[in-house]
Structure 1
Amino acid sequence: MPEGGRKPTTFRVDRSEGFGERLLGVLLDRAHEMPPQLIAPLVAEEVARVGGRDLSILLQDYEQMLLVPLPGRQLVVGDPEPIEDSPAGESFLSRKTVEVAQDGSVRMYLPLLDGSDQVGVMSVTLDSVDDDDRRLLRRLAGLVADMIVTKDAYTDLFFQARRRAPMSVAAEIQWSLLPPLSMTVPQVEVAGILEPAYKAAGDSFDYALNGDILHVAMIDAMGHGLDAATMATVAIGAYRHSRRADTGLSQVYAFMDRAINEQFGHEHFVTAQMMRLNIATGQLHWVNAGHPAPLLIRDRAVVDRLESPTTLPVGFGGEQPVVSERVLQPGDRLLCFTDGLIEEHQAGGEQFGEEQLIEWTNRVVSDHTGVRSVVRALSHALKQERGGITSDDATIFLIEWRGGDADHLATLD
């Protein structure tokens, strides 16, 4: 017993449910069996508990031009908001809350983040806003985003809201194949965009962050339409299979090559680029199979091309590829793209070309900072500069390496 015969003092943590915990907990507890169409009315009721009204949920359209309202009970369904030059768009691109003063009230725009992927924006009006409101609504928006992504796997409601034009079967296949269009962790950020959004066929990309290794693949299947989409599906499936078996890049190429050849024969092929980036050290390894070389962006300008020995496209039975290596500097960006971006041309005219791509890349990175913002702005600017024509798929994937670690995120304050 301690000196003096006293028992040691015991400190109890208050585990009673507070207002904020109850508000978020009700949504979390009911989420497991909640039909997708009931998310909106429950969120509207929860927002009302903190004095909020006029709830809107805005989702990004497939062309990444607009934030379109999700229809639903107790939701305000207005006109789509442009991603550029709107408070909703500012919140979406910056991943931060934006507040707009109105007559005697405040309109709040909160990013819907699933992990770091931007799903859309939740907007709500309150008479006044304090830090408690901001914290609670920010966390509510995060939970709503997670629910939308989870429920999206077994409903068409969110797809239908995002679709602004008829979509080809090939494009439907490609969109179902893609990973989230963006990912952000402290050491690295990635973002991609696919054009034409409603008629894409042979282009695709994939990535996975396994420990300290970021795996990236970009492919371009020959041809157009459903045949190209089918070939791209096999190529990405083969890439994922071999990547998950933890094989080297040479073996990844060989497995993809064999899969395409056995399924489609010697006359079909897929150009591909496979990368592995150590996000702790910046060590980059890659294999190029007939694909355009990525551009290295440093200090807001293109400074180099990642030239490397190239092997035959996947499906042609090339020899074991050379694995190239480079060490990145913190802040370096890699711009990967498919040839549809530079080979576009008017009938009888010259191709758009890599020099114009570099020129426009330098312009865009000088005006935009965020990786997602750069990808969107660059893709849309290039499409406009090519006369709005996209006769072939034109895909962009941007990687920014920052270095450092994320250990602080696993520590409670």
Structure 2
Amino acid sequence: MSDGPASVGALLRAAPPDRLPEVTAQHLRDRYPVARTEILLGDLAMTGLWPVLDPEGPAGGPLEQRCFGSQQPVVDGRPDGTARVLVPLTVWGDRLGVLRVETAQPAGPDLTAELSGLAGELAMALRTADRDTDRYHLVRRRQRLTMAAELQWDLLPGRSLSGERFRLAGGLEPAYAVYGDHYDWAVTGDRLTLTVLNGHGDGIEATLLTAVAVNAMRNARRSGAGIVEQAELASDAVWSRYGGNAHAATLLLEIDLTDGGVEAVDAGSPRAMIAHDGDIRPVTLEQQLPLGMFGDTRYETQKFQLQPGDRLLVASDGVHAAAPGGRVPYGQTALITALRRTRLQPPPEAVQTVIRGLRDYHDGLDADDDAVLVCLDWLRQPA
């Protein structure tokens, strides 16, 4: 059998979904002078990296966090000639965690490159295996989810996504008790569709409402419909189910990745902002009716333009309207301050910075609403 990432990919495809870590560790022992292997996964709230092979072992430390944040390998050479190599576990820009390998010899560029390739195969396998085993879910959860949060996390597309011309990330707060807020995205060819949704109400009823709206929009999108038809089908579905007693405030965006043109349907409270070189300005759109408020609602698109290097941020009202203890809403000043701190951070880090700022703004008070934030960097026009 051949060596390298191709062979480990074949091994992982043949392995049971819950045994991927052990298969990887055995492959590394057979191929390299490896003393120890560990796979660390990020938790739902992105507060740490947690071990899979030895669940009682320590969480990832500063070096693991540096590897995860930078998305670059980290090599920790030691005086005795051994080394610790850390490589990110990432698939299509979705950051899963870190692979840590302790070797009995110095780690050169060739070994680091081979481990990076292997980590890519493992990340793809882990993401696929999530549908058939609970093992990795158990590692990522540091506390029990509410039923509403369970449904929401299964409905999400992922936490980040990247391509040649964009970087994208989303976050939910509180991670273990979110209910009505949601984001969705899909990239097909030169078109990126992005939606941010704030379902009416709270608890599991808000989540069920969101599930109806999101799946209706997906159904339309996957039939080739544009965002107007997506909004109208979702509105009709919500109205049919709830008769106007519940609705879903939603912002639908379709971004042309070739020229940065954006078509939008603003059907409610999520707000968009554009940041560029430290300057942050709101995207002004004419607000239309939330999905499902009335029967046979019709929608129109509006347009705005992204420039190369622009950062587009979309926040639900749980972010921009948060006013814990009667304070000034977070969106008036504190959100802009938090966004300015993210200028040099990639979208996944930027999202977490703003969410941490939102937690700090509540200063121990329970949030009145859940929150979602999505961050998109449009990198450049095609050559």
TM-score, structure 1 as length reference = 0.87
Q: 1:28 aligned to 4, 9, 28, which one?
A: 9
The residue number in structure 2 matching 1:9 is none
Give 2:354's match in structure 1, choosing from 374, 378, 387.
Answer: 378
User: Which of 25, 45, 50 is matched with 1:63 structurally?
Assistant: 45
Pair 1:39-2:20 in alignment: yes
Residue pair 2:18, 2:133 contacting (<8 A) in 1 also:
no
Change (3 A) 1:319 1:39: closer
Deviation at 1:348, TM superposition (A): 4.5
- Where 2:210 maps in the other structure, the secondary structure is helix
Per-residue CA distance 1:12-37 (angstroms, 9 max, x = gap) = xxxxx7xxx42434432233341133
Deviates more, 1:353-362 or 1:128-137: 353-362
On the 8 A contact 1:331/1:402 being kept in 2, the answer is yes
Q: Kindly state the Cα deviation for residue 117 of structure 1 after the two structures are TM-superposed.
A: 1.0
Q: Given the superposition, is the C-alpha separation of residues 30 and 46 from structure 1 closer, same or farther in structure 2, using an over 3 Å criterion?
A: closer
Partner SS, residue 275 of structure 1: strand
- State which of 240, 246, 263 in structure 2 corresponds to 1:268: 246
How many angstroms apart in 2 are the aligned matches of 1:287 and 1:380? 29
- Report the Cα distance in structure 2 between the residues aligned to 1:177 and 1:91, rounded to whole angstroms: 28
8 A contact 2:92–2:163 mirrored in 1: no
What is the match of residue 286 of structure 2?
Answer: 309
Q: Does 1:50 align with 2:26?
A: no
Cα deviation code 1:11-66 (max 9, x no counterpart): xxxxxx7xxx4243443223334113322222112222211222110001000111
2:60 pairs with 1:81:
yes
Q: State whether structure 2 residue 377 is matched by structure 1 residue 395.
A: no
Of 38-47 and 22-31, deviating more is 22-31
Deviations 1:261-307 (Å, cap 9, x if unpaired)? 001221110000000001111111111011232011011331x2111
DSSP-derived class of the 2:3 partner: helix
**Residues in 2 aligned to 1:91 and 1:61: alpha-carbon distance in whole angstroms:** 16
Amino acid at match of 2:286: P
Pick aligned residue for 1:101 from 69, 77, 94: 77
Aligned mates of 2:326, 2:117 — CA distance in 1: 55
1:354 counterpart SS class: coil
Q: Indicate the residue corresponding to 1:143 in structure 2.
A: 121
For residue 236 of structure 2, give the secondary structure of its aligned residue in structure 1.
Answer: helix
Asked whether the 8 Å contact 1:54–1:76 carries over to 2, the reply is no
Q: Partners of 2:349 and 2:327 in 1: how far apart?
A: 31
Distance 1:123 1:247, change over 3 A: same
User: How far 1:382 sits from its partner (Å)?
Assistant: 2.0
1:211 Cα shift?
Answer: 0.4
Once residues 108 and 306 of structure 1 are traced to their aligned partners in structure 2, the CA distance between those partners, rounded to angstroms, is 44
Query: SS of 2:209's equivalent?
Result: helix
What SS does the corresponding residue of 1:80 show, helix, strand or coil? Answer: coil
Match of 1:224 in 2: 202
How does 1:199-218 map onto structure 2 within 5 Å? 199-218=177-196
Correspondence 1:179 to 2:157: yes
Structure 2 residue ranges without an equivalent (≥5): none
1:349, 1:141 → 2: CA distance? 46
Asked whether the 8 Å contact 2:12–2:122 carries over to 1, the reply is no
1:162-183 superposed Cα distances (whole Å, 9 cap, x missing partner): 1001110100000000011111
Deviation at 1:76, TM superposition (A): 8.1
Q: CA deviation at 1:313?
A: 0.5
Alignment partner of 2:98 out of 121, 134, 141? 121
**1:148-191 deviation per Cα after TM superposition (whole angstroms, max 9, x unaligned):** 11111111000001100111010000000001111111201100
Cα 1:63/1:22, change in 2 over 3 Å? same
Q: Which of the pair has more CA radius of gyration?
A: 1
CA contact (8 A) 2:342 2:353 kept: no
Q: More displaced, 289-298 or 273-282?
A: 289-298
Alpha carbons of 1:347 and 1:377: their partners in 2 closer, same or farther (altered >3 Å)? closer
The offset of 1:402, in angstroms, is 1.3
Q: CA deviation at 1:246?
A: 1.9
State the AA in 2 paired with 1:125: E
Tell me which residue corresponds to 2:132. 154
Q: Does 1:354 align with 2:332?
A: yes
Q: Deviations over 1:216-273 (max 9, x none)?
A: 0110101111100101111110111111122232222111110000012211100000
Q: Does 1:239 align with 2:220?
A: no
Counterpart position of 2:110: 132
- Percent sequence identity is 26
Amino acid at match of 1:28: G
Equivalent of residue 289 in structure 1, options 240, 264, 267: 267
Q: 2:25, 2:37 within 8 Å by CA — same for their partners in 1?
A: yes
The DSSP-based 3-state class of the residue aligned with 2:231 is helix
Does 1:191 pair with 2:173? no
Number of positions where the alignment pairs a residue of Structure 1 with one of Structure 2: 378
Offset of residue 95 of structure 1:
1.4
